């Protein structure tokens, strides 16, 4: 039986089994491939999306748990979110694979804490691994987007 999901402000009907992780439904059924598969076991943060505005791991979220929950993916930020603008101006990505997850964690942070401290950034971003080591540029871009002095 199809399951209705609220994705990026619209309702979609999907046919995947209820226990299917959201990550697979986003990428394979809805073709929203901005959300990345990194580890599949809650260790890397590449699959970070928002559930009702809170960062969450799509690889660990069965679609059966999403009744009445608003899902936002990187596509839902629209491309001109202040973080996306700052990411470009700081030339943050190297390989890019972790970056949508990084931006989604940062977006939840600055939505809740308009002027984050270094400690706030550490706490919010600690679950997002970057194998290319772009951490300094990520931090600088978050501060730029939030209007915080570096």
Least separation, in Å, of the C-beta of 1 and ligand FES? 26
Map the footprint of ligand FES across residues 89-118, applying CB under 6 A.
Answer: 93-99
Alpha carbon distance 95, 139 (integer Å):
17
Rule CB under 6 A: choose which of 13, 43, 64, 136 binds ligand FES.
43
- Say whether residue 56 binds ligand FES (CB under 6 A): no
- Say whether residue 55 binds ligand FES (CB under 6 A): no
Alpha carbon distance 131, 125 (integer Å):
14
- Say whether residue 132 binds ligand FES (CB under 6 A): yes
Which class for 81: exposed (0-12), middle (13-18), buried (19 or more C-beta within 10 A)? middle
Six token digits for residue 89: 């101006």
The secondary structure of residue 77, as a DSSP letter, is: G
**Applying CB under 6 A, which residues contact ligand FES?**
37-40, 42-47, 57, 59, 93-99, 130-132, 134
């Amino acid at each position: 039986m199809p399951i209705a999901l609220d994705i990026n402000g619209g309702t979609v009907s999907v046919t995947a089994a209820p226990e299917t992780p959201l990550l697979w439904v986003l990428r394979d059924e809805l073709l929203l491939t901005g959300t990345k598969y990194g580890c599949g076991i809650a260790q890397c943060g590449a699959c970070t999306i928002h559930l009702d505005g809170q960062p969450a791991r799509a690889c660990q979220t069965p679609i059966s748990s999403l009744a009445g929950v608003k899902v936002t993916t990187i596509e839902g930020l629209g491309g001109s979110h202040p973080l996306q603008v700052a990411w470009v101006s700081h030339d943050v990505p190297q390989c890019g694979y972790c970056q949508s997850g990084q931006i989604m964690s940062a977006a939840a942070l600055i939505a809740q804490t308009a002027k984050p401290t270094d400690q706030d950034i550490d706490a919010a971003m600690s679950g997002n691994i970057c194998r290319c080591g772009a951490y300094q540029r990520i931090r600088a871009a978050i501060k730029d987007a939030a209007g915080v002095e570096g």
